[in-house]
Chain A
């Protein structure tokens, strides 16, 4: 993965930039020592690393604004960071960038159960938002599997999804408003605790903009009353096609499960070896979860069972109690860990129309043989969001590149059948250069014009989302501050920034 050549003039001015930052932040909030900035050199796409120029850890919106004003004036790029769990390199810095870590802004500002919202600072973790309201019987619906660690700011940056988004939607459907600081230091409020924008839907475009439009410091989130209960069933099938058809029939029947998860044979075998969840020996399995009271759960499961049995499943397993429910989820929840036991892996997240599921799985199998790399598929089947896990050996020269090439082919396939490159992890650096597969030049131009409006100097997380060649003109046109420079053209044989 290429990153742009860092701006040498900025790097040369490191100490004076640190001095400026120290004027507006307490000493413990500015980090310039490489031994300490090392912790910020990558996110969860850990194959790519780069030491930032400095790290700031502000405690207030005012501090965020003061830092941005300085960086704006100095022409220094800024990379907003929540918990750094991005799988796409979204929060990976460049050598000439200041990392703006929000981890110290974790306050709950207000909870309002009658009006069903919570107002938080965005460094707060996803899970702790739910924890703040669950005593009153409420929860915050988007629940990425990284929810223990990931922050609300990162969720907004990536428009993250979760296991229950089939019913409750993703971040953008549960976000009411934000307080945000623009790159020039302007503090603005977009939306609020009520749910109608009344203006252009700026909030909709900020959500999922990968830290490129502003630094979000506060958010108003919709909280929902917790359902009375939930229960999963597990259904095994002899063929992927049949499992796919079963998903389609359930959706058509109008039962709305909160989750429909799909695992294929390689993934089932790996998780069995690892977690011993007692899954059946079969080609494909579905885990379907429904919610409600006891009676409602029974009613929905009866419908699902009737549909599933029409497809001659190898097994239909109902959880009779909490422990059995836990065991049904155990394999699915340990799938990533299990694959990690076998090898290093790369996790993709292209989305496809659910009707293309059997075809896409067959093609992935064929490509796996061609590339000589194993792949297992876990899948949010209800909404077509795939998670192919490609196995490779990080210590074997060339294997990572081979794996990336294979991954690119899978993502192109997703686009070819009418889907997209990423369903919930974001583009970051990982899928940046594939954007041209999905979008025509005018489409990308329209998106970049949005960034031009929010961040005319292209200083916020500039090397992400758009292919470097496509964004070059804008990134190079830095015109303000001592950092301004005609960056050397020909940066596209760009070096790999790896520690």
Chain B
């Protein structure tokens, strides 16, 4: 099979999958695919539109091909948002296109607020998808608390299109805060700069972002005006370095840059995303060199390294975390896993997609 398929209904999607003889490359906006596209292109953009939006219940049900920007604009109209702050990787990956909400979920794409409000998988409360058997499957629903049956919702989030084509998604939303402010800590090296972030994260002051970018440590606070002012004061008193505070748009811009990995957009080389213990981050960055952005107080380290540093990186990690190559030769959306985890992943792959139709390139990370 070749060419591009663009179903406009879930039923049509199921029919295409059921009739497919060869591999399918699932494509949302095509803005952040990691790894190659093999097979006939299956576009999700025809599966678009809001199914249900209940602001008073903080609930959104939306078709998977809906542009992310459309979703964000709709929510902003009610002063609400997706808590997990999906990033825009177009710059850093050098792509153009329109991100879809399905692609965001398929990648479990989540920004700096993860330390406070969780990832996409935590905001996702229901999915509908078409499995490789051409069956329309649902899991979860549109309510906030649901333990009825296995949580296939979580399994689908971050599966990078290897198990099924998402057709519909339900989210738990968050109200936009009244105000936001960011403390900027300057004059600290990575070691103390990251220690300050860990301290902020370990304080009772409910921080919603802790990153280190371009030699500055930044701490975000969001909420009611009085509360933010109080917490800024408390943290300012205990955090080291030359501390200044910005608010509103100036604060928002800092976090857009952290979210979209702005400092890593320029430099050439392999882009790695590492998940590790915050206390290990400074040592890891020092060992590897390169351009670095620390998020989650060091729990997530993004770095641009010269080509071919994969083994050196694994050695520096020493099993104390995992690394994904987002950009570069051999990029794959999954990290190295143990033999047992791979055996289970491969088992799930063949349970959901027995003919191995979906995203063959990405699926290689499961075996």
Interface residues of A (CB under 8 A from B): 112-116, 137-138, 158-159, 161, 165, 169-170, 172-173, 182, 186-190, 192-205, 207-209, 225-228, 248-249, 251-256, 292-293, 295-296, 299-300, 303, 351-355, 380, 382-385, 418-427, 431, 435, 438-440, 442-447, 449-454, 465
B204 interfacial contact with A, CB 8 Å = yes
- Find out whether the CB atom of B122 lies under 8 angstroms from the CB atom of A296: no
Q: Measured between alpha carbons, how far is A419 from B59 in the docked complex, in Å? A: 12
- Find out whether the CB atom of B137 lies under 8 angstroms from the CB atom of A446: yes
- Find out whether the CB atom of A209 lies under 8 angstroms from the CB atom of B143: no
Identify the stretch in B39-47, B86-94, B247-255, B276-284 within 8 Å (CB) of chain A at 4 or more residues. Answer: B276-284
Which residue, of B118, B149, B345, B352, has the highest number of chain A Cβ atoms within 10 A? B149
- Find out whether the CB atom of A199 lies under 8 angstroms from the CB atom of B337: yes
* Chain A residues within an 8 Å CB radius of B144: 351, 382-385
- Find out whether the CB atom of B138 lies under 8 angstroms from the CB atom of A299: no
- Find out whether the CB atom of B341 lies under 8 angstroms from the CB atom of A202: yes
* Chain A residues within an 8 Å CB radius of B150: 205, 208-209, 447, 450-451, 465
B35 interfacial contact with A, CB 8 Å = no
- Find out whether the CB atom of B135 lies under 8 angstroms from the CB atom of A354: no
B193 interfacial contact with A, CB 8 Å = no
- Find out whether the CB atom of B159 lies under 8 angstroms from the CB atom of A200: yes
Given contacts A115-B279, A198-B337, A199-B341, contact A446 B152 (CB under 8 A): yes
Given contacts A172-B154, A204-B155, A435-B149, contact A228 B122 (CB under 8 A): no
Can you name 8 A-B pairs with beta carbons within 8 Å? A170-B145, A173-B118, A205-B152, A209-B151, A293-B227, A438-B148, A444-B149, A446-B139
Interface residues of B (CB under 8 A from A): 54-59, 78-79, 108, 114, 118-119, 121-122, 131, 135-139, 141-155, 157-159, 162-163, 175-178, 198, 201-204, 206, 224, 226-227, 230, 234, 275-279, 296, 299-300, 320-322, 324, 334-338, 340-342, 344-345, 347-348, 351-352, 365-366
- Find out whether the CB atom of A254 lies under 8 angstroms from the CB atom of B175: yes
- Find out whether the CB atom of B278 lies under 8 angstroms from the CB atom of A419: no
Select which of A114, A195, A208, A454 is within 8 A of B147 by beta carbon: A208
- Find out whether the CB atom of B204 lies under 8 angstroms from the CB atom of A225: yes
* Chain B residues within an 8 Å CB radius of A172: 122, 151, 154
Q: Measured between alpha carbons, how far is A453 from B344 in the docked complex, in Å? A: 7
Q: Measured between alpha carbons, how far is A442 from B141 in the docked complex, in Å? A: 16
Given contacts A447-B152, A450-B152, contact A196 B177 (CB under 8 A): no
A356 CB to nearest chain B CB (Å): 9
A130 CB to nearest chain B CB (Å): 15
- Find out whether the CB atom of B143 lies under 8 angstroms from the CB atom of A194: no
Q: Measured between alpha carbons, how far is A409 from B337 in the docked complex, in Å? A: 45
Q: Measured between alpha carbons, how far is A205 from B341 in the docked complex, in Å? A: 13
Q: Measured between alpha carbons, how far is A269 from B322 in the docked complex, in Å? A: 55
* Chain B residues within an 8 Å CB radius of A252: 55-56, 78, 175
- Find out whether the CB atom of B340 lies under 8 angstroms from the CB atom of A384: no
- Find out whether the CB atom of B143 lies under 8 angstroms from the CB atom of A198: no
> Nearest residue in B to A196 (C-beta to C-beta)?
B275
> Nearest residue in A to B226 (C-beta to C-beta)?
A299
- Find out whether the CB atom of B143 lies under 8 angstroms from the CB atom of A435: no
Given contacts A205-B154, A442-B137, contact A418 B345 (CB under 8 A): no
B216 CB to nearest chain A CB (Å): 21
Q: Measured between alpha carbons, how far is A437 from B205 in the docked complex, in Å? A: 44
> Nearest residue in A to B61 (C-beta to C-beta)?
A418
Select which of B147, B155, B345 is within 8 A of A158 by beta carbon: B147
* Chain B residues within an 8 Å CB radius of A256: 175
* Chain A residues within an 8 Å CB radius of B139: 443, 446-447
Given contacts A200-B348, A204-B121, A427-B149, contact A114 B278 (CB under 8 A): yes
B146 CB to nearest chain A CB (Å): 5
- Find out whether the CB atom of B148 lies under 8 angstroms from the CB atom of A421: yes
> Nearest residue in B to A189 (C-beta to C-beta)?
B338
Given A202-B341, A249-B56, A446-B131, 12 additional A-B pairs, CB 8 A: A114-B202, A186-B340, A205-B150, A228-B204, A256-B175, A299-B227, A300-B224, A383-B143, A435-B148, A435-B149, A438-B148, A443-B139
B298 CB to nearest chain A CB (Å): 9
Select which of B56, B108, B151, B226 is within 8 A of A159 by beta carbon: B151
- Find out whether the CB atom of A201 lies under 8 angstroms from the CB atom of B145: no
Q: Measured between alpha carbons, how far is A164 from B55 in the docked complex, in Å? A: 22
Q: Measured between alpha carbons, how far is A72 from B79 in the docked complex, in Å? A: 54
- Find out whether the CB atom of A443 lies under 8 angstroms from the CB atom of B137: yes
* Chain A residues within an 8 Å CB radius of B275: 194-196, 198
Q: Measured between alpha carbons, how far is A196 from B299 in the docked complex, in Å? A: 9
- Find out whether the CB atom of B204 lies under 8 angstroms from the CB atom of A195: no
- Find out whether the CB atom of A254 lies under 8 angstroms from the CB atom of B79: yes
- Find out whether the CB atom of B157 lies under 8 angstroms from the CB atom of A202: no
* Chain A residues within an 8 Å CB radius of B344: 188, 200, 202, 453-454
Select which of A115, A197, A227, A418 is within 8 A of B204 by beta carbon: A227
- Find out whether the CB atom of A449 lies under 8 angstroms from the CB atom of B338: no
* Chain B residues within an 8 Å CB radius of A249: 56
* Chain B residues within an 8 Å CB radius of A449: 351-352
- Find out whether the CB atom of A355 lies under 8 angstroms from the CB atom of B345: no
Select which of B135, B149, B279, B351 is within 8 A of A453 by beta carbon: B351
> Nearest residue in B to A442 (C-beta to C-beta)?
B135
* Chain B residues within an 8 Å CB radius of A353: 54, 57, 59, 142-143
Q: Measured between alpha carbons, how far is A408 from B150 in the docked complex, in Å? A: 20
- Find out whether the CB atom of B157 lies under 8 angstroms from the CB atom of A204: yes
B158 CB to nearest chain A CB (Å): 5
- Find out whether the CB atom of B338 lies under 8 angstroms from the CB atom of A440: no
Given contacts A169-B122, A209-B150, A431-B148, contact A296 B226 (CB under 8 A): yes
A113 CB to nearest chain B CB (Å): 6
- Find out whether the CB atom of A173 lies under 8 angstroms from the CB atom of B335: no
* Chain A residues within an 8 Å CB radius of B338: 188-189
Q: Measured between alpha carbons, how far is A431 from B59 in the docked complex, in Å? A: 26
B292 CB to nearest chain A CB (Å): 17
* Chain A residues within an 8 Å CB radius of B337: 198-199
Closest 9 CB pairs of A and B: A204-B154, A254-B175, A198-B335, A196-B275, A453-B347, A188-B340, A423-B145, A383-B144, A248-B56
A51 CB to nearest chain B CB (Å): 28
* Chain B residues within an 8 Å CB radius of A418: 141-143
> Nearest residue in A to B164 (C-beta to C-beta)?
A446
* Chain B residues within an 8 Å CB radius of A138: 202
* Chain A residues within an 8 Å CB radius of B151: 159, 172, 204-205, 207-209
Given contacts A186-B340, A196-B275, A353-B143, contact A439 B149 (CB under 8 A): yes
> Nearest residue in A to B224 (C-beta to C-beta)?
A299
- Find out whether the CB atom of B348 lies under 8 angstroms from the CB atom of A423: no
A114 CB to nearest chain B CB (Å): 5
* Chain A residues within an 8 Å CB radius of B122: 169, 172-173
* Chain B residues within an 8 Å CB radius of A200: 155, 158-159, 162-163, 334, 344-345, 348, 366
Select which of B157, B198, B324 is within 8 A of A198 by beta carbon: B324
* Chain B residues within an 8 Å CB radius of A115: 198, 277-279, 299
Q: Measured between alpha carbons, how far is A198 from B344 in the docked complex, in Å? A: 14
- Find out whether the CB atom of B143 lies under 8 angstroms from the CB atom of A352: yes
* Chain A residues within an 8 Å CB radius of B279: 112, 114-115
- Find out whether the CB atom of A446 lies under 8 angstroms from the CB atom of B145: no
- Find out whether the CB atom of A226 lies under 8 angstroms from the CB atom of B137: no
* Chain B residues within an 8 Å CB radius of A137: 204
- Find out whether the CB atom of A354 lies under 8 angstroms from the CB atom of B56: yes
* Chain B residues within an 8 Å CB radius of A427: 147-149
